[in-house]
Amino acid sequence: MGGDGSGREPQIAAGGEEVELWDAYLQPTGIHYRPHIRADAHQDAPWLDFQWCQTGHSGEHVPERVADMWRNLPAKAVADGEPTYEHGGRAGRAAGWWQGHEAWSNLCAGGTMGVVYGAGSLWQWAHRGDEVGQSDFFLAPGAGWREALDFEGSRYVGLVGRILDGLPFADMEPNWEVTLGRRGLLVPGRLFICYSDDGGPLLIFGDEVPRHYSIIDPRTGEVLRSGIRPQEREWIPADWGAPLLFVFCDEQP
């Protein structure tokens, strides 16, 4: 119902109520905010289904913005609807694995509505990276929309859905209590996903995490190793130096 605003403009509530009244398909209705605003307008409105923050376009990871929305009540779906565009305004900005780390960090912070990707020169379908009349801030230097389709970072964001496909992730919530404070999403007794941006061994606490696990390279989707976690306080071995996903699930996708 609103994009790049405060969410508190007078037309937002009026529009939300009207859309809810006339939309026979009951499609999700929400607000997408500008970067410098608290994303909690109309949180208790019956027509509001989701809240989307954005974190500006300077190439910084700010998953706490997503965590802030996730804690708001009553619960609504949340996501960072606009991270930094890959190569936006400057070659190398938010490029490559930056996008993968951003996606998994936002997801584990509570952005369980999903993850979002954007690229310079793509959202406005610029024909060239020097197209007259376009804002340099949103162009990928030297690239038009066709070249932007092949930027590396989109692969890593796309892999998030493929890795999660078939897993029992309904009702998963952020959790850092069953590990030593690492990013994670837990459905007690059914699923635990732990994202470690630099890999390394993992220690699990308590009985809420399923015993069967797979270690996945989030850059390729490749399953590196599978096993059954120790019952005692023993570390699950894994190498340092590269991002890893630990997926614990007693159901086969």
The residue count of the chain comes to 253
Six-digit token pair at 72? 């708001």
Decide the pairing of beta strands 2-5 and 30-33: parallel
**How far apart, in Å, are the Cα atoms of 27 and each of 21, 31, 38, 40, 219?**
11, 13, 24, 20, 32
Domain-by-domain residue ranges, the chain? 2-164, 173-249
Per-residue pLDDT of the chain (253 residues; tens, 9 = 90+): 988 999 999 999 999 999 999 999 999 999 999 999 999 999 999 999 999 999 989 999 999 999 999 999 999 999 999 999 999 999 999 999 999 999 999 999 999 899 999 999 998 999 998 899 999 999 999 999 999 999 999 999 999 999 999 999 999 999 999 999 999 999 999 999 999 999 999 999 999 999 999 999 999 999 999 999 988 889 999 999 999 999 999 875 5
Cα(76)–Cα(52) distance, integer angstroms: 10
With contact defined as beta carbons under 8 Å apart, do 165 and 215 qualify?
A: no
Six-digit token pair at 238? 């894994």
First-last CA distance in the chain: 36
In this structure, the number of other CB atoms found within 10 A of the CB of residue 159 comes to: 20
Cα(84)–Cα(55) distance, integer angstroms: 7
Q: 253, 248, 251: which is closest to 195 by C-alpha?
A: 248
Q: Residue 65: exposed, middle, or buried by beta-carbon count in 10 A (0-12, 13-18, 19+)?
A: buried
Specify the pTM.
0.95
Q: Residue 151, CB half-sphere, CA atoms under 13 Å: how many?
A: 32
